[in-house]
Structure 1
Amino acid sequence: MRIDLNSDLGESFGRWELGDDAALLSIVTSANVACGFHAGDPTVLRTTCEQAVERGVTIGAQVGYRDLAGFGRRFIDVPPADLTNDVLYQIGALDAMARVSGDRVRYVKPHGALYNAIVRHEEQAAAVVEAVLAYDPALPVMGLPGSAWLRLAEEAGLSTIQEAFADRAYTPEGTLVPRGASGAVLHDAAEIAERCLRIVRRQPVTAVDGTPVLIEADSLCVHGDSPGAVHIARTVADRLGSAGVAIAPFAAVPAS
């Protein structure tokens, strides 16, 4: 058994620091790097890409709404054509930083409210698919299993990566419990690690209402801005490793 372990990184901005990117990059195998719209500035993005390349971590573009004040966690009713161009702009910006760091963007993952919106919002999902196709149809895309986003991406010929969240609660339908709801974010590292092992083994986990739900995943996400994120990621990696699960990127990275 093998699984990719990813985290949202590059989310600091100027003097405002969020998360411990350097520590997480020593644990995870894929980095969802902010692209400047929901978080991150050019120096942060380049530094994050350089650190990822140094550690052999796959670089992904984490695209979002143009919403620095809300950290990309507020839905914005962006016209589809504008959303396509916003996503194109973000992929291109991060790809420039990745290339001068010695690699390139190797997948695309939406962030926050955009990620959740395109689970069901067909127009916005199609707009993001159009952006990836226009930039590079060989780029895999990451998202929630069963989402409109992954369905439309697959129909368009894009490779898709199903993602599960280590530190987020699930509804009985297999969607994420909204962040504002009680119990939406998990904190117990040992419990999170055991749940991740169940996901990798394709065993049901407990939804927020206590019912079992089966979550399929090619990659597990630990949020870089969560309290104790480094401890959680390390605990998950150690637990999976002790159970014989290899932590490995789904996308190839160049040999150093």
Structure 2
Amino acid sequence: MSAATAGALAWAGPYAAALRAGRGPLFLRRSDGLLLPLDVERWCAPADPVDLDVLDRCEGAVLDVGCGPGRLVAELAARGRTVLGIDVSDAAVAGTVRLGGRALRRSVFEPLPGEGRWGTVLLLDGNVGIGGDPAALLHRVGALLRPGGLLIAETAAVDVDERALVQVVDMAGAPDGDLLFRWARLGTPALLRYARGWTRAGQWTAGGRRFAALRSRSASSRAEPPKRAAVISSQRVRKPSGDSPVTNR
């Protein structure tokens, strides 16, 4: 079984049902039994003020990794921004498309449109934990970004650096089959330790959530800080131009 197939299976079942219902409870259950709650209701709601502040900081074309049901992709698309969501869950991709966004069922570690040309990559809602290997994930994101591109990551609310095998489970504790997958939890200090070669571009807390912005290792030392309201040409994602990293691969 490929990693992409395993990932899709891991986020089927209770996760797909929760997205369709728009509510949880839903958890990541670690192999030691600890339950980590997943904020399904927030993911399924429109982008909130904290989300909007993050989106105001985005530059150029945006890739939302682990886009879920698509609230961020839909908001950026409504602004006329070039944006693509990727997720290993069919239900997440379908939800994003229903909201008017563009999304692909794809792992971040698979070939993607526009590699090396994205202006911003988002790793929000715990997605900095994808793959359970923060150094590998940061390396991959660096390859997706254009020179000097921006990563905006949401980190844990506490200073933590842990890896675990997890399953997605619902209120009844029913897992998505027997499939375990690797996940990580990182606080901001841990993320910055792994970000060797990246340039720190900002840290902030809003609404009880924590964020860090990093520039890719090829950024010039003269690179400007993240723009609060980036302006790009209005390119609908359904009709990408030759300069847009969004293609129909």
Q: Which structure is higher in strand share?
A: 2
TM-score higher than 0.5 = no
Q: Please classify the TM superposition score into its range, dividing by the shorter chain length.
A: 0.3 to 0.5
- Output the TM-score relative to the length of structure 2: 0.35
Instruction: Name the structure with the higher helix share.
Output: 1
Q: What is the TM-score with the length of structure 1 in the denominator?
A: 0.34
